[in-house]
């Protein structure tokens, strides 16, 4: 797999006074947009790019970025898995998730993975700049209500994050209903106005959360617990 990197002159030494940023997203247009925006700000230097978790880990080890702007859903090793690995291989690099998915359970997984914050992809670009700067200073960048809930759980459970119960989120239940109806991922995505790969990620998370390995077991789980209305099937 070819690592996507930003061309750099062999005659120019990196500017160590700048915040070194690595972009990890499987959409080239999104990487190009973020790169273009950051290039308008003198305090940043985009040192590399990656299109999946494996590439993000390799690029981080090569370039030692200060901040990694990480997509959540990527093929192969996703953002959460990559962030877990980076805690071991590149502890000096701080991860900022850049994602469209901000459900409470997912944000808790981001925090547990070691991320320092997240920014939704539909927020103004100036917020991304602020988030990178704050994370580089050693701060975090989470919505107050999310951080308060998570860290309250952490404290009241004796220093351990509250275990997420095996309960599906509303969006996961919607995806599960589609699976029970026999719909393909694309059909479910069209119904819920999501990207197909987002539906795939929801399916993977459900199976991991419930300890289920086959789609047929998901259907059985839904039916035995009355999660779907049989009259609608």
Average pLDDT along the chain = 81
DSSP structure string for 81-107: HHHHHHHHH-TTSEEEEEES---HHHH
Provide the 10 A C-beta neighbour count for residue 194.
20
Contact 115, 70 (CB under 8 A): yes
Give the model's pLDDT for residue 229: 52
Contact 196, 185 (CB under 8 A): yes
Task: Look up the pTM and report it.
Answer: 0.62
Three-state SS at 225: coil
Tokens linked to 150: 């998570």
Angle between helix axes 185-192 and 170-180 (nearest 10 degrees) is 130
Average pLDDT estimate for 109-135: 90
CATH 3.40.50.20 fits domain 170-224: no
| CATH top class, domain 19-156 | alpha beta
Looking at the chain, the domain(s) classified CATH 3.40.50.2300 span: 19-156
Looking at the chain, the domain(s) classified CATH 1.10.10.10 span: 170-224
Give the model's pLDDT for residue 157: 53
């Amino acid at each position: 797999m070819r690592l996507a990197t930003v061309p750099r002159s062999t005659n120019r030494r990196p500017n160590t006074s700048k915040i070194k940023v690595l972009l990890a997203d499987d959409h080239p247009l999104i990487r190009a947009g973020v790169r273009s925006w950051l290039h308008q700000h003198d305090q940043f230097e985009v040192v590399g790019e990656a299109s999946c978790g494996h590439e993000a880990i390799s690029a981080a080890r090569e370039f030692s970025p200060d901040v990694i702007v990480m997509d959540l859903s990527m093929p192969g090793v996703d953002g959460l898995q990559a962030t877990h690995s980076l805690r071991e291989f590149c502890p000096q690099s701080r991860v900022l998730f850049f994602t469209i998915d901000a459900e409470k359970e997912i944000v808790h997984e981001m925090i547990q993975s070691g991320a320092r914050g997240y920014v939704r992809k539909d927020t103004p670009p100036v917020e991304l700049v602020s988030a990178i700067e704050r994370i580089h200073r050693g701060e975090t960048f989470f919505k107050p209500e999310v951080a308060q809930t998570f860290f309250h759980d952490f404290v009241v459970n004796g220093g351990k994050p509250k275990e997420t119960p095996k309960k599906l989120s509303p969006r996961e239940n919607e995806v599960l209903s589609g699976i029970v109806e026999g719909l393909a991922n694309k059909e479910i995505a069209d119904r819920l106005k999501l990207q197909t790969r987002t539906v795939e990620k929801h399916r993977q998370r459900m199976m991991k959360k419930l300890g289920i390995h086959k789609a047929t077991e998901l259907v059985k789980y839904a039916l035995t617990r009355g999660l779907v209305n049989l009259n609608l099937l």
